[in-house]
Amino acid sequence: MAPSTNTRVLRAKHIAKDEAFSKDDLKIVHVEFDATLNEGEILVRNLYLSLDPYTRFSFEKDGDRAAAPLDTVVSGFGVAEVIASKSSAFPVSSIVLGSTIGWEQYSRHSNLQGFFIIPDAHNPKIALANYLNILGMNGLTAFAAVDSLVKFHKDQVVYVPSAAGPVGSFLCFLAKRDGAFVIGSAGSEEKIQYLLRDIGVDYAFNYKTQDSRAELYKAASEGVDIYFDLVGGETLDIAIEKLKSEGQIITIGNISQSGAAPYVMKNWSQFIFKSLRMNGFTVFKHLDKFPRLWKEIGPLVAEGKFKSQQLTIVKGVERTSSVYQDYLDGKYFGKVVIEVAALQEE
């Protein structure tokens, strides 16, 4: 039966680039829902919603220019069940991963370019929420960045900040798998132990309580070959200083600059003196690699090779606003997913 009402999470306020995000920037509404489909559209029941740093940018406003209008549904990656369809490519009962799933109970979609049917959605050895973690955007970010830009080998030193997060931990795994010496940093002792014990990095330090320059020198006195930038700001500046001649930076994220005053870089001249390379990367240009990710990494997940991947599932779309603020404030460990509804197995 088609739904007649819907619970939605809307943008309530705009924020400046250097302004901290608050749960009051979101609001929960309960509305009537028109489930009538036009040709080519699908209606989905949302199951899991991904919380990601980039979503914050849709709240930003610079002068008269806003990233997205107020009172519109927040969206991002999600897993959903097709409950009605007028698209032959997405039949009813398909389980899909979508890049523009609304933060709501039900969604209508006409632009299906960023949607993929999950081929093994009912495999009891792979939790559906993993398609928003190691088999979702986070996993694809690490997988595609390495596939496109990096060739690891055993004599390399690789540095990954925010290494206990869902992208960082998979980057560490891929580098270790190919024999590199891996340094990871994180913001708590619990995360440091996780990196050493579960991920198997060679050296880990707490950037909040230890001096990053000193720790990088202890770990790799001759310097770093590859730096995966997930945070930007001072962390990037220090990494530039510690890179070897002809070292490489793959810049993926800039989370330290969200809600903060812009950091003034001091070491740009090192690019000239050391002939450094810097590659920008966005996963949205690599969504076509999802099938490869699932084919190559899915069996390893099913075999339990990724038990150490941290995943927090919070039930209830109504809790999204407070959970997202806590997520941005770093109060969660690893990937955070909102469970809107559970998949009812036949």
- Note the pLDDT of residue 311: 85
Angle at 31 between CA 28 and CA 34, to 5 degrees: 135
Q: How confident is the model at residue 1 (pLDDT cuts 50, 70, 90)?
A: low
- Note the pLDDT of residue 334: 75
Six-digit token pair at 33?
A: 């829902």
Q: Distance from CA of residue 311 to its chain's centroid?
A: 12
- Note the pLDDT of residue 345: 58
Burial (CB < 10 A; 0-12, 13-18, 19+), residue 13, is middle
- Note the pLDDT of residue 259: 55
**Tens digit of pLDDT for each residue in 10-46?**
999 999 888 889 999 999 999 999 999 999 999 999 9
Spatial CA neighbour of 158 closest among 253, 249, 33: 249
**Tens digit of pLDDT for each residue in 70-94?**
999 999 999 999 999 999 999 999 9
pLDDT exceeds cutoff 70 at 134: yes
What three-state secondary structure class fits 320?
helix
**Tens digit of pLDDT for each residue in 206-248?**
999 999 999 999 999 999 999 999 998 899 999 999 999 999 9
**Tens digit of pLDDT for each residue in 257-298?**
565 567 778 889 989 999 999 999 999 999 999 999 999 999
DSSP notation for 4-50 = SEEEEEEE---B-TTSPP-GGGEEEEEEE------TT-EEEEEEEEE
88-123 exposure pattern, b = at least 16 Cβ within 10 A, e = fewer: eebeeebbbbbbbbbbbbbbbbeebebbbebebbee
pTM of the model: 0.86
**Tens digit of pLDDT for each residue in 173-211?**
999 999 999 999 999 999 999 999 989 999 999 999 999
**Tens digit of pLDDT for each residue in 302-340?**
988 775 567 899 999 999 999 999 998 888 877 899 999
- Note the pLDDT of residue 253: 85
